[in-house]
Structure 1
Amino acid sequence: MSGSTDSPRTASQAGRRRLIVAIAAGLATLVVAGFALAGWSTDRASAQADLEARQNAGAHASLLESELQKFRLLPRVLTEFPDVRAALADKSDAASRRLDRELEQLAARTDAAVIYVLDAGGTTIAASNWRAPTSFVGENYRFRPYFQGAMRRGEAELFALGTVSGRPGFYLARRVTVDGRRLGVIVLKVEFDKLEARWADSAATTLVTDAAGIVVMSSDPRWRFRSFGPIAAETQRRLRATRSYGAARLESLPVDRSGGDLRIGDDIFRQADERVSLPGSTLRLLQPAGPARASAGATARVVFLILLILVGAAIVTLLRLVERQTMRQAAHEALEREVAARTRDLSTANDELRHASERQAETDRRYRAAREELAQASRLGSIGQITAGVAHEINQPVAAIRTFAENARAYLDREQAGKARGNLDHIVELTARVGAITGELRNFARRAPAPLGPVPLQSAIDGALLLIGDRLRAQGIALDVGIEEPAVAVHADRVRLEQVLINLLQNAAEAVRDTECARVTLVAHGDGPVLIDICDNGPGIPADILPQLFTPFVTGRPDGLGLGLAIASDIMRGFGGTLTLVPSPLGGAGFRLTLRRA
Structure 2
Amino acid sequence: MFIRRMVSQARAPASPEGWSWLAFGLAAALLLAIGLIAAADLGRSRAIAAMDARAEDGSTLAIAILRGELEKQRALPMILARDPDVRSALSGGNRHALDLKFASIARETRTAVIYLLDVTGMTIAASNWDEPTSFVGNDYAFRDYYLGAILKGAAEQFALGTVSQRPGLYLTSRINDGDRLLGVIVVKVEFDRVEADWRALGGQIYVADQRGVVLLSTVPDWRFHVEAPLDEETQKEIRRSLQFGEAPLLPLPLTPDDGLVQSAAPLSGLNVLSRRDVSTTSWHLDMLLPVDQAIRVEQWRLQTLVALVLLVGLMLAAFLLRRRQQAAMRLLAAAEAKAELERRVEERTAELAGSNRKLLEEMAERARAQMRLLDMREELAKANRLATLGQITAGVAHEINQPLAALRTYAENARTFVAGKDEGAATGALGKIIGLTERIGTITETLRGFARRGSRALEPVLLSEAIAGALMILDAPLRQAGITPQVETGAPGLRVFARRVELEQVLVNLLRNAVEAIETVTPRPASPLLWLGIAETGDDVSIVVADRGPGLDEAAVAALFTPFRSSKPRGLGLGLVICHDIVTAFGGTLIAACKPGEGCIFTITLRKAQAEPTP
TM-score (norm 2): 0.50
Does the CA contact (< 8 Å) of 1:228 and 1:252 recur in 2?
A: yes
Residue 70 of structure 1 corresponds to 72
Residue 124 of structure 2 corresponds to 125
Greater Cα radius of gyration, structure 1 or 2 = 2
Does the CA contact (< 8 Å) of 2:40 and 2:300 recur in 1?
A: no
The count of corresponding residues between Structure 1 and Structure 2 is: 321
Three-state SS of the structure 2 residue aligned to 1:257 is strand
Does the CA contact (< 8 Å) of 1:22 and 1:315 recur in 2?
A: no
Q: Give the distance between the partners of 1:145 and 1:269, measured in 2 at CA.
A: 36
Residue 53 of structure 2 corresponds to 51
Residue 284 of structure 1 corresponds to 286
Q: Residues 333 and 125 (structure 1 numbering): CA distance in 2 closer, same or farther, change over 3 Å?
A: farther
Q: Give the distance between the partners of 1:238 and 1:332, measured in 2 at CA.
A: 96
Higher relative contact order (CA 8 A, sep 6+): 1
What pairs up with 1:25-44 in 2 under 5 angstroms? 25-44=27-46
Q: Give the distance between the partners of 1:19 and 1:248, measured in 2 at CA.
A: 71
Residue 297 of structure 2 corresponds to 295
What is the aligned counterpart of 2:310 among 283, 308, 321? 308
Q: Give the distance between the partners of 2:279 and 2:136, measured in 1 at CA.
A: 30
Residue 110 of structure 1 corresponds to 109
Q: Residues 331 and 182 (structure 1 numbering): CA distance in 2 closer, same or farther, change over 3 Å?
A: farther
Q: Give the distance between the partners of 1:41 and 1:243, measured in 2 at CA.
A: 49
Three-state SS of the structure 2 residue aligned to 1:295 is helix
Q: Residues 79 and 300 (structure 1 numbering): CA distance in 2 closer, same or farther, change over 3 Å?
A: same
What do residues 352-401 of structure 1 show as CA deviations (whole Å, max 9, x unaligned)? xxxxxxxxxxxxxxxxxxxxxxxxxxxxxxxxxxxxxxxxxxxxxxxxxx
Alpha-carbon RMSD across the aligned residues, in angstroms, is 2.4
**Deviation of residue 13 (structure 1)?**
5.4
1:172 aligns with 2:171: yes
Three-state SS of the structure 1 residue aligned to 2:193 is helix
Q: Residues 230 and 331 (structure 1 numbering): CA distance in 2 closer, same or farther, change over 3 Å?
A: farther
**Deviation of residue 86 (structure 1)?**
1.4
What is the aligned counterpart of 2:88 among 86, 89, 98? 86
> In structure 1, what residue type is equivalent to 2:315?
A
Residue 144 of structure 2 corresponds to 145
**Deviation of residue 331 (structure 1)?**
6.0
What pairs up with 1:549-560 in 2 under 5 angstroms? none
Q: Give the distance between the partners of 2:280 and 2:216, measured in 1 at CA.
A: 11
**Deviation of residue 202 (structure 1)?**
2.6
> In structure 2, what residue type is equivalent to 1:274?
R
Q: Give the distance between the partners of 1:333 and 1:19, measured in 2 at CA.
A: 28
Unaligned runs of 5+ in 2: 1-13, 337-615
> In structure 1, what residue type is equivalent to 2:77?
P
**Deviation of residue 21 (structure 1)?**
4.0
Unaligned runs of 5+ in 1: 1-11, 335-598
**Deviation of residue 333 (structure 1)?**
10
Q: Give the distance between the partners of 1:148 and 1:289, measured in 2 at CA.
A: 45
Q: Give the distance between the partners of 2:335 and 2:276, measured in 1 at CA.
A: 68
> In structure 1, what residue type is equivalent to 2:64?
S
What do residues 137-166 of structure 1 show as CA deviations (whole Å, max 9, x unaligned)? 110001100000011000100111100000
Q: Give the distance between the partners of 1:291 and 1:170, measured in 2 at CA.
A: 37
Q: Give the distance between the partners of 1:65 and 1:274, measured in 2 at CA.
A: 13
> In structure 1, what residue type is equivalent to 2:47?
A
> In structure 1, what residue type is equivalent to 2:187?
L
Residue 321 of structure 1 corresponds to 323
Three-state SS of the structure 2 residue aligned to 1:321 is helix
**Deviation of residue 46 (structure 1)?**
1.4
**Deviation of residue 247 (structure 1)?**
1.4
What pairs up with 1:562-573 in 2 under 5 angstroms? none
Q: Give the distance between the partners of 2:21 and 2:332, measured in 1 at CA.
A: 20
Does the CA contact (< 8 Å) of 2:263 and 2:269 recur in 1?
A: yes
Report the more deviating stretch, 266-275 or 307-316.
307-316
**Deviation of residue 273 (structure 1)?**
0.9
**Deviation of residue 16 (structure 1)?**
4.7
Q: Percent identity among equivalent residues?
A: 36
Does the CA contact (< 8 Å) of 2:32 and 2:307 recur in 1?
A: no
Q: Give the distance between the partners of 1:279 and 1:326, measured in 2 at CA.
A: 82
What pairs up with 1:365-444 in 2 under 5 angstroms? none
> In structure 1, what residue type is equivalent to 2:219?
D
**Deviation of residue 194 (structure 1)?**
1.1
> In structure 2, what residue type is equivalent to 1:292?
A
**Deviation of residue 17 (structure 1)?**
4.7
**Deviation of residue 304 (structure 1)?**
1.9
Q: Give the distance between the partners of 2:318 and 2:65, measured in 1 at CA.
A: 60
Q: Residues 79 and 21 (structure 1 numbering): CA distance in 2 closer, same or farther, change over 3 Å?
A: same
Residue 186 of structure 1 corresponds to 185
> In structure 2, what residue type is equivalent to 1:217?
L
TM-score (norm 1): 0.51
Three-state SS of the structure 2 residue aligned to 1:151 is helix
Q: Give the distance between the partners of 1:333 and 1:275, measured in 2 at CA.
A: 79
Q: Residues 271 and 243 (structure 1 numbering): CA distance in 2 closer, same or farther, change over 3 Å?
A: same
**Deviation of residue 279 (structure 1)?**
3.6
What pairs up with 1:132-531 in 2 under 5 angstroms? 132-265=131-264, 266-277=268-279, 279-318=281-320, 320-321=322-323, 324-325=326-327, 328=330, 330=332
Residue 538 of structure 1 corresponds to none
Show structure 1 runs of 4+ deviating over 3 A: 12-25, 322-334
Residue 99 of structure 2 corresponds to 100
